[in-house]
Chain A
């Protein structure tokens, strides 16, 4: 079996992973990125909307363009950064300091890195309801992949479940692709995503029904509609069940960190509801309780791509520094200041509270 050696293995080539690779390569590290998809960029490649945030995090630029910018950035380090696409890391063997990975279905290999940065991202949550297994019920990520990666619309009339940023943005993108969005249902009494994202679909006539959810999908071989219901403060049904005609039901009901590898490594973890799942404790350089492993992005807690890119820089710097390399002076302070500024407002409050529960100054007291 082939064994590949590298200074830093970055697991996941999304916004956090590419940023980590860039920061580490800039410091002089040899970096290998293992990406399970067929291309780098992670979720950025599906984002056709312009990003929020500040200029430093590419505000006002469309997500897929940001993926190109990050790819160009790592390309300038030449052979110092190598990329393995279609490669899934399957396990970590701490005694030997080796991870195993699978490239396609052809090759099973060992990678022996000096340091690891885990940027494995997130996976979608789904909600249970009768008939949620019939064709036409999608996660929002799948809808985006179909539309924005492969150019295929999922249907003609979509019912969106969830008015967080993903539900709102994917609704807008569906309309751009010429698909009708019948309604967006949101169980909470207010939208969860940015108000401006909601305003832009409302003014094109899409109703957002607050305190509403789906009761069941209708149809046999395919989705033909949905039963929807109104909720009270205790999330119990009030009023009559209504029927909506649609051929697609899109679930945008949240994400949860893809943390299996961190569990397997044995990183100290904590369940933090505001970060949407079990996340690792980390120091200010994004190092986990394992002294050779860093992490960044959604696996550290569900946030958004701008923050993921900054966390990636921190993790890349941290891993490079631990190898004795010269990192950019003041780098940690600079990136923390940007991160703190992005998180400073009301919408960042849950993140601030969540992160404060898992950032540690030292490891002595962490259970």
Chain B
């Protein structure tokens, strides 16, 4: 039984509208990180915009549009990470440490990881990419969607999108 890693089966395989990376120069020096949204399908949904306190997720002209981002306004606050019903928002802070980045990802599973613990970090098909250290666990909206802060090697920020439920 082999599932192919195709876009049609729910795996992001390349950058496309609604799933783009921030501009590298701004990203590398922006403390707190910048948002990465992986929402490449036009669906009627806009909570990322309505939850964004700075207007970095640009208001939708048509609610079916994919999100567009004004990175100049993004503070990396991760409110969209907590709010997005598709769990499609992530924040990556490249200034976290030497060769170490901080990834803020949504988490709705049990058990919760322990703060300070080492966890396995998973890619877009659940494959183990690397290990990471859980730096913080927040619940910004008090609605049971946690935002887990995990420190990972900087060169893995394009690959890690989950942590193992263990």
Contacts and interface: CB of A to CB of B under 8 A. Distances in A.
A183 B2 CA distance: 10
B10 A195 contact: yes
Interface string A322-352: 0000000000000000000111111110000
Interface stretch (A52-60, A96-104, A261-269, A285-293): A52-60
Interface stretch (A130-138, A141-149, A207-215): A207-215
B3 A194 contact: no
Nearest to B6: A210
B64 A54 contact: no
- Which size bracket describes the interface of A in this complex? 35 or more
Interface in B70-110: 83-88, 108-110
A200 B86 contact: yes
Question: From DSSP, what is the main secondary structure of chain A's interface residues?
Answer: mixed
B44 A347 contact: yes
Contacts of A163: 9
A206 B109 CA distance: 15
A175 B44 contact: no
B43 A207 contact: no
B43 A203 contact: no
A341 B10 contact: no
A53 B44 contact: yes
B143 interface: yes
A59 B8 contact: no
A270 interface: no
Contact of B10 (A191, A244, A342): A191
Chain B interface helix/strand/loop/mixed: loop
Interface in A57-75: 59-62
B62 interface: yes
A51 B88 contact: no
A199 B8 contact: no
Interface stretch (B24-32, B119-127, B146-154): B119-127
B85 to A, nearest CB: 4
B165 interface: yes
Contact of B109 (A59, A175, A186): A175
B41 A210 contact: no
A50 interface: yes
Contacts of B122: 203-205
Given A202-B9, A341-B64, 19 more contacts: A52-B47, A52-B86, A59-B45, A183-B3, A196-B43, A197-B10, A199-B86, A202-B124, A204-B126, A208-B3, A208-B10, A209-B3, A209-B9, A210-B8, A341-B63, A342-B44, A344-B64, A346-B64, A347-B64
Interface of B: 1-4, 6-12, 38-47, 50-51, 62-64, 83-88, 108-110, 122-127, 143, 145, 161-162, 165
Interface of A: 49-55, 59-62, 163, 175-176, 178, 183, 186, 189-191, 194-210, 228, 242, 244, 306, 341-348
14 contacts: A50-B47, A53-B45, A54-B44, A54-B63, A60-B51, A61-B143, A199-B11, A200-B86, A202-B11, A202-B125, A207-B125, A306-B44, A344-B44, A347-B42
